[in-house]
Amino acid sequence: MKIICKKKNLFCLLIYTKTCATADQEPEVGTNPVQVEVGDFDEAIDVEEETVEDIVDNPCLNYHCKKGKVCEVDEGNTPMCVCQDPSTCPPADAEFEHVCGTDNKTYDSSCHFFATKCALEGTKKGHKLHLDYIGPCKYIETCLDSELNEFPLRMRDWLKNVLVTLYERDEDNNLLTEKQKLRVKKIYENEKRLQAGDHSLDLLAHDFEKNYNMYIFPVHWQFGQLDQHPVDGYLTHTELAPLRAPLIPMEHCTTRFFEECDSDSDKYIALEEWASCFGLKEQDVDKDLII
């Protein structure tokens, strides 16, 4: 599976790194690039941009509607957001544009999904419907207990490698803030660092014990990347989606991992819960590492 980033986007890079790391185990999905953008999952955030340049008096100009809605004017020429008719979505011309809903139904594209969800607004069904993952719905194996424990091992290592990769490429792109760069520099320059590669689970576990400190920042950093709407120390289902959705088809333990990560079952993953599912000690959880 080849993934190309349209924009410099951290999640795209995450997926890219992940895919490269396990390229030989992944089934070929064709040569079409998959573009993953954070905006594709921002259910709750207004991201739609209107570019009707010629109509000066169009009240819908610069009037933003959230995913699944479009702007229309009422009789009083007042703009308002109404559900988009799925048939007005751009047709999806490839399988990689399909998405799978939590209803295990395949939607042609995320546009079709959000338009459908909008039409169900206010109903119980609509409330429960979320974008589950990227790609057509497929059979996802049950995640066994033993496999569940492997997930954070690989994920932690991957997060660390993503950060190091960002650091290496960051010369003028400003993918990381100065403060973040300083922290990653320490990891990058540490000679004991386990280099990126296809490591056995035993080695990953051993490295986590030996070089525990190198994993503290990457785990915090990922939380900060996701905790954006709002920045409150808790991840909602929507905030988690940019990470979850591309990962589920590749890692069958993703859903179970994040479900169990919410250890108090309040539907939010708090920083403390997050840190604990990645094996960090309670005393190392530090809100200041996120900024």
Ligand X SMILES: *[C@@H]1O[C@H](CO)[C@@H](O)[C@H](O)[C@H]1NC(C)=O
Which residues of the shown chain bind Ca ion in the complex (CB under 5 A)? 227, 232, 234, 262, 264, 266, 268
* CB of 76 vs ligand X, minimal distance in Å: 46
Applying CB under 6 A, the span of 117-125, 136-144, 200-208, 254-262 interacting with ligand X comes to: 136-144
Contact 15, 29 (CB under 8 A): no
* CB of 139 vs ligand X, minimal distance in Å: 4
3-state helix, strand, coil in the chain (%, to 5): 45, 10, 45
Please give the Cα distance from 20 to 196 (Å, whole number). Answer: 10
Q: Tell me whether residue 138 or residue 210 sits nearer to ligand X (CB atom).
A: 138
Q: Tell me whether residue 188 or residue 268 sits nearer to Ca ion (CB atom).
A: 268
Please give the Cα distance from 283 to 2 (Å, whole number). Answer: 40
Q: Tell me whether residue 93 or residue 232 sits nearer to Ca ion (CB atom).
A: 232
* CB of 121 vs ligand X, minimal distance in Å: 24
Q: Where are the alpha helices (DSSP H) in 82-144?
A: 110-119, 124-128
* CB of 261 vs Ca ion, minimal distance in Å: 8
Q: Map residue 19 onto helix, strand or coil.
A: helix
49 binding ligand X? (CB under 6 A): no
Contact 91, 97 (CB under 8 A): no
CA distances from 121 to 124, 126, 130 (A): 8, 5, 12
Q: Which of 25, 122, 124, 139 binds ligand X (CB under 6 A)?
A: 139
Where in 83-122 is the site for ligand X (CB under 6 A)? 104
In the chain, the N- to C-terminal Cα span, in Å, equals 33
Query: Pick from ligand X, Ca ion, none: which does 138 bind, CB < 5 to 8 A by kind?
Result: ligand X
Using CB under 6 A, list all residues that contact ligand X: 104, 137-139
